Chains A and B, each alone.
Chain A
């Protein structure tokens, strides 16, 4: 049984002419111990999806299942179990910590409230442990600090430690490293990966940066979202090496390469338009059709393409291109097609 399952989940905001469907009939499953990366440009509904998975936002249609149970129909106890099992780490480390609380208060209060530690001293000791897990050492130095005395990366670690107080099984990391200095992203990602391995935490990793998705979820899965719908998903390695949906191809082609040699060999996907359509006025049929280089008039702009499975693994919402493989990087004699160069830009020096 999947840990988290979304069944045709939609979320709309506003009324009448202002009504915007931020997430449109999204379905996916996340198995225990797995990593799912949700990728897409800003405004495509990734964060809204993440919040619905974390139970912080109710879907307007469809169900979110946790351990096979619909969270909207759970009784109080079951919902509390779900609530504690699923935590969220926000994007903005400057907004996710209360400026009036010390690190001690932020960590010990949930511990005491949910009886995860015995008494003040127990909570104190547990808090120190948690801070050490997220590499804030020496932990005692951080206990009395207020958020404004910490750097972005340190704040993000405090957020993670705070989420760990309730011993979650599942963490929604909503752009958790995108507002942190590039130089410390890798160590944050490695810390999150360690939680994945040591504590069996399952991750929904939301990002707009495909290079991060590759680094964090190389063994996991990727779902690509475009204007509220999933257009392609599958094992990360398949999606990255052999993208089928024109939008995924365009995204991958747009990832800047640090290696100029590689950058030269990289194929450019020319979109017909650089503008993302407004959610208030979505094009008919496939929402990518006004930009798609492979558009088939009379087909793509009529019906919303179904998200169909492909034999190579995963699903693609493009009947026109789903069976056609393209090379994003031109082969050079003797050179491998996919190198780790684009990942290595995130490797720490030495």
Chain B
């Protein structure tokens, strides 16, 4: 047991070292870690401020309120800390689901060809042509979305077609490669060929697509909240943005902090995720590592 644990720690260390070769990517990675820490551990230390304080409306940042206060005099910082969890969970669920669907069925279609391919591609084409946001609006009106995981699943279930087409075309090209033929000659089996030979060669692409799918899910989620189609349960960055909007935040100088903070939080999260992929590329594509 001990050696297994040690081995895991060692390979994690090696992975981190590879990631650190790209400074920008590593910064993004650290930022993502900090945001995760803030959103999942932070709420234990910074409880959500729910008390209305009429005398403290729209305050600018100060030692007491690091990011100022909102229209009810509540602390914005506590809302930022507590509002990230939902956004991140939805983004991860949606990103993971859409990437999983796209990679599994895209590789299958490309690798198997024939009828399976024709079927997968036609389903993809249909989903691809449906305008996403209007469909989401209709769905959100039909399904009660008080569970954020459901929201993530719906976003993920709609977000895969473009990636699937890309994965399929890569699989079509990769399956013709000599190293795949060599693996067939060595009788290594279809599972090995797909998961050891073909998928690792698409990993960089998949990782970037995963990041983009997360980004898309964050925007879609915020948009749904902004349209008022997802119940304002608890506090998240989308709800904050929506409330600030309803309060006419863009018309009043006072409320600039209230609307800018969730926007900044969302943008920083997006930027960190996207730049982190630069480091992840190094992990999955050995040719890019110049540090060695």
Contact = CB atoms under 8 A, between A and B. Distances in A.
Interface in B149-198: 177-179, 181-189, 192, 196-197
Given A100-B203, A146-B287, A83 B197 contact: no
B132 interface: no
A148 B196 CA distance: 18
Interface in A19-64: 51, 54-56
Nearest to A86: B185
A80 B197 CA distance: 21
Interface string B251-292: 000000000000000000000000000000000111100000
B186 A100 contact: no
B201 interface: yes
B286 A110 contact: no
A183 interface: no
Contact of A165 (B178, B186, B192, B203): B186
A56 to B, nearest CB: 6
Contacts of A54: 185
B200 interface: yes
A163 B187 CA distance: 11
A100 B181 contact: no
B177 A95 contact: yes
Contacts, number: 69
Contacts of A165: 186
Given A99-B287, A100-B284, A110 B186 contact: yes
Contacts of B201: 98-100
B200 A100 contact: yes
A2 to B, nearest CB: 21
Contact of A87 (B186, B188, B192): B186
A88 B179 CA distance: 11
A54 to B, nearest CB: 6
B192 A113 contact: yes
A83 B185 contact: yes
Contact of B185 (A87, A100, A109): A87
A83 B203 CA distance: 30
Contacts of B186: 87, 110, 162-163, 165-166
A56 B203 CA distance: 27
B179 A95 contact: yes
Nearest to B204: A100
A159 interface: yes
A347 interface: no
B231 to A, nearest CB: 45
Interface string A106-122: 00011001100000000
A88 B181 CA distance: 9
A99 B185 contact: no
Interface string A61-101: 00000000000000000001001101110111001111111
Contacts of B179: 95-98
Given A88-B182, A96-B178, A98-B200, A110 B188 contact: yes
Contacts of A113: 187-189, 192
14 contacts: A83-B187, A88-B181, A92-B178, A99-B201, A99-B286, A100-B200, A100-B201, A101-B196, A101-B200, A109-B188, A110-B188, A113-B188, A148-B286, A162-B186
Given A113-B192, A146-B287, 17 more contacts: A80-B187, A83-B185, A88-B182, A90-B181, A95-B178, A96-B178, A98-B196, A99-B286, A100-B200, A100-B203, A109-B192, A109-B196, A110-B186, A113-B187, A113-B188, A163-B185, A166-B186
Interface of B: 177-179, 181-189, 192, 196-197, 200-201, 203, 284-287
